Each structure stands twice: as structure tokens, then as C-alpha cells.
Amino acid sequence: MVDQTILWGLGALLLLTPLAVGGVEPWAYAPMEALVFSLTALWLARGVADPGASAALSGLRGLGAALIPAALLIGLAALQLAPIPPGLLRAISPASFELYQNSLPGWPAAPLNVRAANGRGGSGEPAAMVALPTVDEAAAGEPVPFRESPRGDDVSRESPQPETDNAIKVWRTLSLAPSLTFPALLKLICYAGFFLLVAAYPFDDPSGSEIGQRLARIIVLAGFAAAMVALGERIYSNGRALWLFQPYDWPKGDPWGARAVGSFANPDHLANFLDQALPFAAVGALWPAALARKRRRATRILAVAAVISIASALLLSSSRGGWVGALSALAVLAALRPQRAGVTGSRTTASAAAAVGFGLALILLLLFVGPHG
């Protein structure tokens, strides 16, 4: 039961993440983080409740080489969120210390009380809206509706203000924007947890081949779906991602012109994801037995359709980095292709046939994309 729950959770993440506007909106990535953390907690609970707890966590032993740099990277991000004294801050990051010193008058001698919190002045009255005069009006003698702020020596003679929740503390963080660093740290921990679930969770399948085949088929399906969304948006687009959501950086509709953006709302992000799905689709088209023990014909049909749609969406993304990534992935895949024992023949002939086949496939793709694309 636990194995099936975790497998279904991993499959849902692989399939739904690329369709959630690239997972960059808070409403999209927050539930996915919660799901990853829940699956990880379920794994740990199984390890505690199972009499063979060591077996449930045995997969972690062989990942020491990968866990150490991951832990160091997460620790580095966490260190940037820890408030540290000014002297240590200056030793670690002189530029951050200088920025704080120049932007926070009086720091680090004492904490600064933010008096104009929530749009109110020191008297507690709401701040009024003021229209500034133009340069010409100011030159003509129009008064500027602001008084000069007191000098630093005058401020020092004022009675000390009680420290409130809005006070700027003396101890500062290395991160200049902790509100942005903390969500990034959560994402990093989430990625690490997802990696551990895939690489180390002890499924009932000892070899892991069946689990790997299921996840690979889901990746092919996710790539096919993302590519079809990108192609469909070129036929009919209403200026929204997935025809439903308007990303926060699209105030006037799709800013990418004729480039395919798909559910990622960004052509380069779309190409990056398709680069990861294309090798799995190519394997399913050439060697369907690698992705399925049964229904190999259906698997090959899906994989071929995925190859055509993914390659077309890659071309329409106009992402040169995406094109290079796709060619590099296919080159690595060709180098790793299985060699049949006892088969004789010329490698040159096989390479020439592969090159001709690739050229014909590219011509067909260009015809499919059309002259406008």
C-alpha cells in the first residue's frame, strides 16, 4: 500500500508539474512541495513502523557521494538566512556589509525603528497623497511639499524610540532578500527529497526495472502532453498559459510573439523540459521493450507520436540552447545504444543509415511545422 501510494505520487508529480505553468507560480509549486514532503514523511514513517526499519532506509547507504554535496548546497542556502553579527558579516561578505551600512543610516551602531510602518507617520496619522511639482514648476518657485529631514546629529539627540516589531535588527542575513531566499531553499529541499524517493526508496521490485519503466512511460506521456499544448496554442491562443492562467509577468498577454511557449509560459523553459523527455521517447520508438514488458506496440505508437510532437515543439520554440540540448541528448543516446551479440555488419553503413534517417525525419518535421513556423 505504501509503495503504491509513493509510486502514484511520483507519477502525479512527473505528469502534472510541467502542466502547472512551469511550476513557477506559488499556487502551483506549493501543493507539489507539500506532496513531496508528505511522500518523504510516509517513507520515514514506514521505516520507523516496519520491524525491518534498516531495510526501508537501506537505499540511502549507496548515495553517500551524492548526499554530501547536496547537503552542503542546502546548508549554504540555509546559512544565508541566518542572522549574523555585523563583524562576522563584514568578514564573510564585505559587499553586503557595505550595502547595509549605506542603506540603513546608523547601522550597525543600533537598531533602527521603522516609524512609517503601514503608511503612517510618527504621529500615527495616515500619510496623505502628495503630487510633486515638475522640474519647471519647482524652478518657477513652486514649493516642494516635503521638509528637510533632520541631520544625523539631531537624530542622536532625540529621545530613543521604543523598539517595535518593525525595528531593523543589528544582526542581518547574508541574503539581502530573505523572503525570496526562503522559498528557494524550500524548493531545493523538495528537489532533494524527490531525488531520494526515486533513487533510494526500496520498492518491492528488487531490480527496479518495472518501477523505472513506469516512470519512463509517464515522462514520455508528460513530454507528449506538453508538446501538444505548445502546438495547440499556436493554432488558437487567447493570450493565457494553458488557455486558463495569465502569468504575473504577462500584463499585456503573451510577450513571446510567434515562439511556442506551451504550459511553461516561456519558450526556453519549454525547450529545457522537452530536451529531458525526448530521449525517453526515442528509446520507446526504437526499443519499446525498454519501456514496457507488455503492450509494446501501443508503447511504440505513443513514443513515435511523442517524438514527432516534441521535435516540432522544439523547433517552434526557437530556443537555440534547446536545439543544442536535444542534439546532444540524441548523440549520447546513439553512443549508448545496445549492441546485439552475433550481428555482423559495417558500423559505417549503420551510421550512414542513421544519418539518412535523421535527415528524412528532420525534413518531415519541417513540412509538419510549415513555412510560417
* DSSP single-letter state for residue 249: T
Helix-helix angle 296-317:320-335, to 10 degrees: 150
Residues 37 and 243 sit within 8 Å (Cβ to Cβ): no
Closest CA to 286 of 271, 272, 306, 270: 306
User: What's the Cα-to-Cα distance from 192 to each of 68, 184, 203, rounded to whole Å?
Assistant: 11, 12, 18
Q: What is the pLDDT, as a whole number, of residue 61?
A: 67
- CB within 8 Å of 316: residues ≥ 6 apart: 230, 231, 234, 259, 260, 369, 373
- Contact indicator for 323, 280 with CB cutoff of 8 Å: no
* Each residue's pLDDT expressed in tens, for the chain with a length of 373 residues: 777 888 899 989 988 888 887 677 788 888 999 999 999 898 888 777 766 655 556 666 667 777 888 889 999 999 999 999 988 999 999 999 999 888 887 788 766 655 444 444 444 444 455 667 777 677 777 777 665 555 545 544 444 444 444 456 788 899 988 988 998 999 999 999 898 888 888 776 655 578 888 889 999 999 999 999 998 888 887 777 788 887 777 777 778 888 888 888 888 999 999 999 999 999 998 888 888 888 888 888 999 999 989 998 998 888 888 888 998 888 888 888 776 655 555 566 666 666 676 777 777 677 666 666 6
The answer to whether the bond into 108 is cis (omega within 30° of 0) is yes
**pLDDT per residue over 231-279, tens digit each?**
888 888 777 778 888 777 777 777 888 888 888 888 899 999 999 999 9
Residue 163 grid cell: 523598539
Residues 112 and 161: their CA atoms lie apart, in Å, by 9
Tell me the per-residue pLDDT of 59-99, one tens digit each, with 9 for 90 and over.
666 677 778 888 899 999 999 999 999 889 999 999 999 99
SS3 221: helix
CA dist., res. 237 & res. 234, Å (int): 6
Question: Is the alpha carbon torsion for 67, 71, 73, 74 positive or negative?
Answer: positive
How far apart are alpha carbons 345 and 118 in whole angstroms?
Answer: 78
CA 166-168-172 angle, to 5 degrees, is: 135
